[in-house]
Structure 1
Amino acid sequence: MKRRDFVQLTGMGLGAMMLPLSTMGSNIAAEALLEPGLDVAAKKILADVALNTARNLGASYADARIGRYLNQYVFTREDKVQNVVNTESFGVGIRVIAEGTWGFASTNDVTEDGIKKATSQAVAIAKANSKIQKEPVQLAPVEAHGEVSWKTPIKKDFKEIPVSQKVELLLDANSAAMNNGANFVNSSLFMVNEQKYFASTDGSYIDQDIHRIWPTFDVTAIDRTAGKFKSRSALSAPMGMGYEFLDGLESEKLVGPAGLKLYRNSYDIIEDATLAAKQAKEMLTAESVQPGKYDLVLEPNHLGLTIHESVGHPLELDRVLGYEANYAGTSFATLDKWKSGDFKYGSDKVNIVADKTQPHSLGAVGYDDEGVKTKKWDLIRNGILVNYEAIRDQVKIIDQNESHGCCYAQSWNDVQFQRMPNVSLEPGKEKYSVEEMIKDVEKGIYIAGRGSYSIDQQRYNFQFGGTVFYEIKDGKIVGMLNDVAYQSNTQEFWNSCVKICDESDYRLFGSFFDGKGQPPQVSAVSHGSSTSRFKDVNVINTGRSI
């Protein structure tokens, strides 16, 4: 399955059916989500069984991850509930280094005997692989943290909210859309709780409780006389928050151009569905874009996807080295460009950071799946490529001795490997609003929300669409447009960035099911930015209006 098709399907709720069994787990009753599971003391005893067994069998390093993964997904269409899914996945994964080589095994038999068997298998695999290993694995040193814990700072646990309340919210959003001109609407609510325990022979015992949430919908309006239809998806962003994201406890709304409702740290799905229906109807009569060069004003929920594809993926070190190509290809941002010290990835306005600590982001955790304390670091500073995304067995390749803390596995049943952290564009330092930005544009297009896209296997040449498009003439929004997509290459595009709004406009975009690897794994990651202006970008007419 193509990666971009997978991303689009997740917005419709279908992507959940494509997830590996280890992520989905077994079906359970909603009330079973509230069961406490193993306590920390029991987890430590079981983890020590793995670590001691690995040492006794000759492993020079071992880590064990005991994971309980809880999911609740709610799907509706118009006035009906399509499905409510509650799942639990529980097991342990053991990773070792023996004779200089990695080995991994996992089991859902979370007993001392089950863990001993899995650990023995992991060591046997490592020793078998060592016969063809060309050079031994070298791990960057990591601090021994002892017994520590970290939790997503939530105010409302989704597991404690009745399913009926969630269903009612989605059906109310559907009703609002139908009452304002939509002919069809479906809505979904994805909620995830990862209860993860990590222990290693380095001396860390880390207990983490991680929460994520994503409300989304898609509305369609039809002109039966003309035989046309248009759709508008939600302008929500998945977040590393509790259910308070949907009940207004962190209410912080921004009003954008053309009356767009933009959300930060809270989301009003009924309000967004109401506006979506009206905009879908407006799209039915909107003009088709004239191809040419335009200044693009890109809002954060849109720009996040461009950051994800043209910065986040190409700066994953395994892609740079050619070790990884699944789902997203390799990378044009090769080591020689970084070593030169002057590779102009973007204009001097462009400062892009990786950050696994960012509040409310999908990628926020206290420690990664190698027991490394998470942090923030520069990827691009004043437009210059300065670093990559790397983990313990990679950083030596770029002459560094500290992991970036971005190692992750989608479940206990999967081996952890390098994954994209939150990758974000820093806001402008000077006070500058979206309204002021639009006033400075003579010929441009304002784009909000994510849409279809295409990018080559080196993450260089690309094309991006969006959710809604508005034409800008002489500093004013003059009307909605259809069939808009822009084409560029990564370096040309980021060097065309001429202005970025200040932090008052800063918001997060998120990818809830980002695929990578073979066998494939998914992860969740956010990308922050403020509305940004890109000068003289080539816009094409997709010709998809019906």
Structure 2
Amino acid sequence: MKRRDFVGLTSLAAGALFLPSIPGFGMGNAVDPAQLLEQVDPAIKKRMADAALNAAKSAGASYADVRIGRYLNQGIFTREKQVQNIASTESYGIGVRVIANGTWGFAATNDVSEAGAAKAAQTAVGIAKANSKVQKEQVQLAPQKGFGEVSWKTPIVQNAFEVPIAQKVALLLAANAKALDNGASFVNSALFQVNEQKYFASTDGSYIDQDVHRIYPTFGVTVVDRASGKFRSRQALSSPMGLGYEYLTPKAADKVAGPAGSDVTGYKMSYDILEDAAAAAKQAKAKITAKSVVPGKYDLVLDPHHLGLTIHESVGHPLELDRVLGYEANYAGTSFATLDKWKSGKFQYGSKEVNIVADKLQPGSLGAVGYDDEGVKTKEWDLIKQGILVNYEKIRDQAQMVGQNESDGCCYSQSWQDVQFQRMPNVSLRPGQGKLSVDELVKGVDKGIYIAGNGSFSIDQQRYNFQFGGQVFYAIEKGKITGMLEDVAYQANTQEFWNSCAATCDASDYRFAGFFNDGKGQPAQSSAVSHGSATTRFNGVNVINTARKIG
């Protein structure tokens, strides 16, 4: 099977429509859950990798890398008091990328053997040589030292695949029960688990074995008012994380309260799905009678679980160097953040409060790995410093295009059968340096709105003009939360919005938002990425009423 959206494989049918956002789940062949715990000896993978590298060099490649990938996925789906579907799958194969005659070539195979690896390498070289006939400029790779034989593993406490399915089902059904007990009319929940067992080898001299784990609990709650016929929904305020099952063992220290009066609770490195499901039902019910927002200019106080999506779309994507250079235009276009703005050293992307970093390091984040998919050791680097655009996100064959001599380590492929290319790393807003709580941040707002959770959004082909909604909205009047609002969305352009950033809370409020299914490329690929931030205030942002007719 080819990697497809997880829902396409399962028989979730209409029940899936109530789920908030099904991840683009790369799947393979269905397997017994016990097989998800198996490992492949690195020595076997090294022999296959050497067979591919030797075959590539013999066929005329000046460079080659090999990725041997075993991708394991499990999804559990429930609705109200019943299980709808459980699926466990495995995808296993080899991808070989080469440079021959100064041109890239790629081939993949599910024949996981030394002979299969060698044949794929020979095919990749043949493709590169054919491509070279129309290549105008030769590929130039940033230098990269070999690391020899090394390994890296997501620092998990408990492998989610080791937890009995019955225990995971029981937790989801308990969350459903909490929602129903607190007024929900309908509730769906799901738990996604991913394990990427990736082996990378290259002619630079690296043999890198990595074991990457991710987890995502989620649900959708709907409350129907039978008398009026109105209904409202609220999605989970969870975030997918680069953690094991310990993420679903809530710790009191991980709770972060929203502003007083908002009835919103955030979570750091663990998540209380039972508490969130109960709160979701209450909030969905309250939304039915909530006051509809009056359009106008407001100061916005944005919770990290909401702000992550805005960072993703208005900073993460436009600073991908392939978009900036015009080589990538899928999934909402190229970028307004062109090279002339960066070269000036003066482009005010945001206010002086805006310090945004990229990284593939933060523990618990979805993007955390030891090495990327072309053997580059990962790191952290500045993108925006005190509001000024200072750098982009790039990989080995892009560095020389902007006069730099090293990759940022953000090359990734969704599977062994897809070629790796530049993907967004974790992109995060640094918390404020001075001590500042959420309540103190709200006290400085005379007329504003507090927003938590992700809603619908729209952004133009240059990642510039945008509109964002959310899950729950609360009015702020004279420094206090005064009640729930509905029908809220805000509009701005990227530079205007980030220059309206007035203050961000301190590190005690810092949390991750994340996405399992960030789409890019053609053919499309999906990757997972996190965005860290603390609650942040933006002054004088235009708010519209999404329920009102125009004209």
Q: Matches of 2:18 and 2:102 in 1, distance apart?
A: 43
Structure 1 contact 13–188 (Cα < 8 Å) conserved: no
- Deviation track 1:212-243 (CA, whole Å, cap 9, x = no partner) reads 00000010001111110000000001100000
Q: 2:312, 2:531 within 8 Å by CA — same for their partners in 1?
A: yes
Deviations 1:42-72 (A, max 9, x none): 1111100000000001100000000000000
Q: Tell me the residue number matched to 1:369.
A: 373
Change (3 A) 1:407 1:146: same
1:27–1:241 distance in 2 versus 1, CA, 3 Å: same
Residue 259 of structure 1 deviates from its aligned partner by 2.5
Alignment of 1:63-82 (within 5 A): 63-82=65-84
Of 18, 26, 29, 1:26 maps to: 29
Structure 2 equivalent of residue 302 of structure 1: 306
SS for the counterpart of 2:46 is helix
1:344 aligns with 2:351: no
Is the 2:51–2:115 contact (alpha carbons within 8 Å) kept by the matching residues of 1? no
Q: Does 1:516 align with 2:523?
A: no
Contact 2:372 2:378 in 1 (8 A): yes
TM-aligned CA distance change 1:483 to 1:13, over 3 Å: closer
Q: Does 1:134 align with 2:136?
A: yes
- Coordinate RMSD, CA, aligned: 1.6
Q: Distance in 2 between matches of 1:332 and 1:289?
A: 31
Tell me the residue number matched to 1:293: 297
Q: Which runs of 5+ in 1 are unaligned?
A: none
Among 180, 203, 206, the alignment partner of 1:204 is: 206
* 1:73-129 CA-partner distances (Å, limit 9, x unpaired): 111111111111100000000000000000000000011211121111100000000
Partner of 1:350: helix, strand, or coil? coil
1:354 aligns with 2:358: yes
Q: Residues 194 and 251 from structure 1, CA distance in 2 versus in 1: closer, same or farther, beyond 3 angstroms?
A: farther
Contact kept? 1:72, 1:86, Cα under 8 Å? yes
Q: TM-score, normalised by structure 1?
A: 0.96
Q: Following TM superposition, by how much is the alpha carbon of 1:249 offset from its aligned partner in structure 2, in angstroms?
A: 6.0
> Aligned residue for 2:194?
192
1:97 and 1:543 mapped to 2: Cα distance? 54
TM-aligned CA distance change 1:454 to 1:13, over 3 Å:
closer
Where do 1:78-97 residues align within 5 Å?
Answer: 78-97=80-99
Secondary structure at the residue paired with 2:77?
strand
Quote the Cα distance in structure 2 between the aligned partners of 1:48 and 1:470.
59
Retained in 2: the 8 A contact 1:250–1:265? no
Question: Matched residues in 1 for 2:20 and 2:313: separation?
Answer: 22
What is the total number of aligned residue pairs between the two structures? 535
Q: Secondary structure at the match of 2:363?
A: coil
Given that residues 315 and 333 in structure 1 are in contact (C-alpha distance below 8 angstroms), is that contact kept between their aligned partners in structure 2? yes
1:530 maps onto 2:534 in alignment: yes
Aligned to 2:48: 46
| Contact 1:309/1:455 (<8 A) preserved | yes
Picking from 448, 471, 480, the partner of 1:467 is 471
Rounded to whole Å, the distance in 1 between the matches of 2:110 and 2:21 is 27
Please report how far the alpha carbon of residue 314 of structure 1 lies from its aligned counterpart in structure 2 after TM superposition.
Answer: 0.3
Which consecutive residues of structure 2, in runs of 5 or more, have no partner in the other structure? 9-15
Residue in structure 1 matching 2:184, options 179, 182, 185 = 182
- Write the distance in 2 (CA, Å) between the matches of 1:176 and 1:506: 28
Asked if the contact 1:234–1:272 (Cα under 8 Å) also holds between the matched residues in 2, the reply is yes
Normalising by structure 2, report the TM-score: 0.95
Deviations 1:393-422 (A, max 9, x none): 001111100000000000000000000000
Q: Distance in 2 between matches of 1:11 and 1:265?
A: 26
Instruction: Please report how far the alpha carbon of residue 145 of structure 1 lies from its aligned counterpart in structure 2 after TM superposition.
Output: 0.5
Which residue, 88, 98, 102 being the options, matches 1:100? 102
Report % sequence identity: 69
Relative to structure 1, is the Cα distance of residues 14 and 530 closer, same or farther in structure 2, using a 3 angstrom cutoff? closer
Contact 1:250 1:266 in 2 (8 A): no
Please tell me whether the aligned partners of residues 175 and 277 of structure 2 are also in contact (alpha carbons under 8 angstroms): yes
> Distance in 2 between the 1:494 and 1:67 partners?
39
- Of 19, 40, 44, which aligns to 1:12? 19
Once residues 276 and 355 of structure 2 are traced to their aligned partners in structure 1, the CA distance between those partners, rounded to angstroms, is: 31
Is the 8 Å Cα contact of residues 251 and 265 (structure 1) preserved in structure 2? no
Letter in 2 for 1:31: A
Mark the CA change 1:464 to 1:390 in structure 2 (over 3 Å): closer, same or farther.
Answer: same
In the superposition, relative to structure 1, how do residues 404 and 431 fare at CA in structure 2: closer, same or farther (>3 Å)? same
